[in-house]
Amino acid sequence: PEDPEFLEAPEAPLDPSDLQDPPQHPSDSQDPPDPPEDFLEALESLPDPSEPQNPSELGDASDLGDASYLGDASDLGDPPRSPRVQDPALGNLSDYGRPRSLTGSSSSSLPSVSNLLASYERLGWEKEPPIYARPPREPTGPHFSPENQAALEEGHRKATEPILAKERVKKLLAFSRVPVPEKRIHPRQAALFTSAANEAAKAFISKPKESTLLRFLLLPRVLGLGLAKGNLAATLKGFPSNLPTLEASLASFEPTEQQGQRPPKHLSPSEQATKQLERGFLGRAAKALIDSSPLAPETPETLALLREKHPLGPKNPFNGKTRPYAGQRVTLEAVSKAVESIGLEKAPGLSGWTRPLLDLAIGKDSQVLAALRLLADMIRQGTAPGIDILCPARLIGLEKPDGGARPIAVGDLIYRAGNASPLAARG
């Protein structure tokens, strides 16, 4: 038999009436103090956070300053408490005291007036105007010493001078001054452009050389030149035999605003958005309301900053003994997927090809699609011609709020489609 000394007495049933209310937070037993009158007056003068604000008054994301303006969890009240656990034997403990939220205060409580004022002060809405309304700032000086800047400028000159001296590169740069059409062109004009594009693509397929590739690349600029002069049919039907005549006419051609160029910096975000909507660019209009960074001025300081951010690399970075696998053959379906991945509002490179123009040129049994497939396959194998006319990009600088410049390189869409096609072929 078991020793009675070690037997435990049965537990008496728990009477809920013997329970006491759980201890309350010290702040629960006191009424919250009334906020000072000056805080209430300041709060009434602030905009209602629940109402949507005008984006033109908010500026862009750079106006918000450091990410610390959000504060931390301590600004919102007491630290969060663990949720109450319901014991089946005791019932719901919330019946024995006032229910509380996870923040340690009542569910209807709001941040203090001082916290609200501090949050608005961190946002800076009343302190600094948006970026488009500020006076222009010159870019801050480069971080390199004058000797290093001179060496960097000389290195860039030596690297680019031989390329810029080539005749085909000169021709590409000369035609890049001609704007390409942004709006939908007339069906008759589209048919003329599609026919000329197929002829240029057929010439590249038969002789995949730099000369035939250049004629295909120049076609959007030739389209813009024909539209500007009012003789599109004669211009496209005579291409490429009339290329010397067209190049000579560029001397008297007055270029207009290029596609993809940002509106002038004196326009407000709403005016910039309206300008982009008139062109049919919904995405650019939305971006203008969020990011209205203007173009940086073309000054020696800006050029020095851009050189600093684009240092020269080795002449032959992949000059190794390894021979990596080139990948599988590019198909027409892969090229179609690569073209579809390009945004409809993507700004053109030096050649002027855009996604809408590619959609016009690519159709059923299109020679353009076959030419892009051949070019992509040659890029995959490292045998593609025209590296000096395919790889250049338009380099622009966007003005930063602190006076610096952010470099943006706009590459050619034909080169982008050719690079993306091998990746699309791998799935």
pLDDT, tens digit, for every residue of 292-302?
667 788 888 88
Q: Which residue has the higher pLDDT, 349 or 404?
A: 349
Residue 66 burial (C-beta neighbours within 10 Å; 0-12, 13-18, 19+): exposed
Interatomic CA distance for residues 75 and 400, integer angstroms: 31
pTM attached to this predicted model: 0.61
Helix (H, G, I), strand (E, B) or coil at 406: strand
Element (H, E) at 394: strand 394-399
Q: Give the pLDDT score at 203.
A: 97
* pLDDT value for 326: 78
Q: Residue 142's pLDDT is what?
A: 54
List helix spans (H) across 46-107.
Answer: 55-58
Q: What is the band of 68 on the pLDDT scale with cuts at 50, 70, 90?
A: very low
- Output 109-114 pairs: Cβ under 8 A, ≥24 positions apart: 109/77, 111/75, 111/76, 111/77, 112/35, 113/35, 113/39, 113/40, 113/42, 113/43, 114/39
How would residue 266 be classed by pLDDT, with cut points 50, 70 and 90?
A: low
Model confidence over 388-399: pLDDT tens digits?
Answer: 999 999 988 888
Q: What is the mean pLDDT of the chain?
A: 74
Burial class (CB in 10 A: 0-12, 13-18, 19+), 135: exposed
CA distance 172 to 412: 12
Q: How confident is the model at residue 124 (pLDDT cuts 50, 70, 90)?
A: low
For residue 273, the model assigns a pLDDT of: 74
Q: Which residues pair with 245 in a beta bridge?
A: none
The pLDDT assigned to 34 comes to: 61
pLDDT at 256: 59
- Tokens 């190049």 map to which residue? 247
Rounded CA gap, 415 and 339, in Å? Answer: 11
% residues pLDDT > 70 (the chain): 61
pLDDT of residue 152: 84
Q: How confident is the model at residue 102 (pLDDT cuts 50, 70, 90)?
A: very low
pLDDT of residue 180: 92
Measured distance between the N- and C-terminal CA atoms of the chain, rounded to whole angstroms: 78
User: What count of Cα atoms within 13 Å lies in the side-chain half-sphere of residue 106?
Assistant: 10
* Structure token digits, residue 248: 């000579």
Q: Quote the CA–CA distance of 98 and 281 in Å, as a whole number.
A: 56
Which residues partner with 295 through β-bridges?
A: 398
β strands within 98-255, DSSP E: none
Confidence of residue 108 (pLDDT cuts 50, 70, 90): very low
CB atoms near residue 402 (< 10 Å): 9
Whether the CB-CB separation of 177 and 253 falls below 8 Å is answered with yes
Comparing 105-119, 214-228, 257-271, 310-324, which segment has the lowest mean pLDDT? 105-119
In Å, how far are 33, 125, 296, 302, 339 from 400, measured between CA atoms?
45, 19, 8, 11, 32
Out of 27-36, 137-146, 185-194, the most confident range is: 185-194
Model pLDDT, residue 292: 63
Report pLDDT for 269.
Answer: 73
Residue-level pLDDT at 83: 45
Tell me the pLDDT tens digit for each residue of 212-221.
999 999 999 9
* Confidence band, pLDDT 50/70/90 cuts, at residue 103: very low
Which DSSP string do the residues of 108-124 spell out, in sequence order?
T----HHHHHHHHHHHT
